[in-house]
Amino acid sequence: MDTDKTFAEELSNWTTVGLIRLYGEDILNQPEVIAALGMQCLKDAIGLGSKSLREIAGALHKFGYIKDPDQWLRLTAAY
C-alpha cells in the first residue's frame, strides 16, 4: 500500500476539480467531510459519474474514513 500519497493525490484531476468547484480547495484536506456528505449528495451537487464516485469511495476507505466503499456508494444523504 502506498502510504506516501495524500487523500487528494489518490483522486484524479477530474474528481479533484469537481470537488474544488463545489466546496473550495480546502475540501481536499477534509476527507471526513466528504465521507459525511455521502455519495448521493456528491453525485447530485457535482454531477460526478460512477467512476469518480468509486474513486472517492476507494480513497476514503484506504485512509480509514469509511469502513465499506460499497455501502457508502449506496448511501443517500439527507438534504
Within a domain: 62: yes
The Cα–Cα gap between 37 and 78 comes to: 9
Put simply, whether the predicted model's pTM sits higher than 0.85 gets the answer no
Q: Are 39 and 68 in contact (CB under 8 A)?
A: no
In sign, the C-alpha dihedral spanning 54, 55, 56, 57 is positive
The pLDDT tens digits for 49-78 are 788 889 999 999 999 999 999 888 886 444
Q: Which domain holds residue 63?
A: 7-74
C-alpha to C-alpha distance for 13 and 20, rounded to whole angstroms: 10
Number of domains in the chain: 1
Please indicate, yes or no, if residue 2 is contained in any of the structural domains: no
Residue 79 within any structural domain of the chain: no
As a whole number of angstroms, the distance between CA 45 and CA 29 comes to 19
35: in domain: yes
Q: What is the pLDDT, as a whole number, of residue 19? A: 87
